[in-house]
Amino acid sequence: MLQPAPRPPAGPAPRCSRALLSARSRLALLVLVLAAAAAAVVAYEPQRLLADGWPPHLSGAWAVALFAVAYGLCTAAFVPRPVLNLAAGALFGSQAGLAGAVAGTVLGAGISFTLGRVLGQDALRPLLRGRWLEAADGQLSRHGFRSMLAIRLFPGVPFAAANYCAAISRMGYTPFLLATGLGCIPNTAAYVIAGSEATSPTSPAFLIAAGFIVVSGVAGAAVAWRKRHRLRGTAPTASADARAAGADGRLPVDTAA
């Protein structure tokens, strides 16, 4: 004999708990966190502290590690990465600056990805409509590592936007972080070298780094222009995947790098 399903506990406390943990409540919390972070950046301008010689009284590996932590928090709060990369080169030179900038990039991406995945995914996935959105979601969900690697290698997609789009998709943590760490190296290195050679703007290193930044930007725009046709073409496939996944819209997660 089948037993009746247990009823959820009644009373105001359980109802308040369910409301606070609902997808919409978590999405509202995400919006508040991001708004507070953006307001803090506008009010305190942490990028100026980094560029003006912060942190004081520290040197060596500890200074680079602390810079990486600050870098990650700043990128999660929408501080532009090029400014931070130039500061890394000016403060620590090309090698240590690159290490700190890459570590900070991965940390900031991880923070944004976690916030988007925990607070925003359940509420935003049902809102994915339109051919471009469905195609982008399907591409990131099925081919997470190579898609994110291409986004990081060719600048054009804003860093924060890529993080939160990946969080809403079914991409796993490992391919996301690994693709971010590998893909950000070339462009980050160019900015770091430019920052370390900023006092010698006619030096070969500075000119090569500046040229790479320009060329990579143009190449990224060209690749994005060509890929738009492929996104349109894959939209019906993404829609079919969403229908086959069922009402919850769950897709297979790309967990292999």
pLDDT attached to residue 128: 60
Q: Please, what are the averages of pLDDT over each run of 10 residues along the chain (257 residues)?
A: 56 54 75 85 72 65 90 90 91 93 96 88 64 69 86 83 86 92 94 91 90 83 66 50 46 47
pLDDT attached to residue 184: 94
Determine contact, residues 103/194, Cβ cutoff 8 Å: no
Q: Which residue has the tokens 């986004």?
A: 151
Q: pTM value?
A: 0.74
Q: What residue spans of the chain are helical by DSSP H?
A: 12-20, 23-44, 46-51, 60-76, 81-115, 121-124, 131-142, 144-153, 159-168, 173-183, 185-196, 204-245
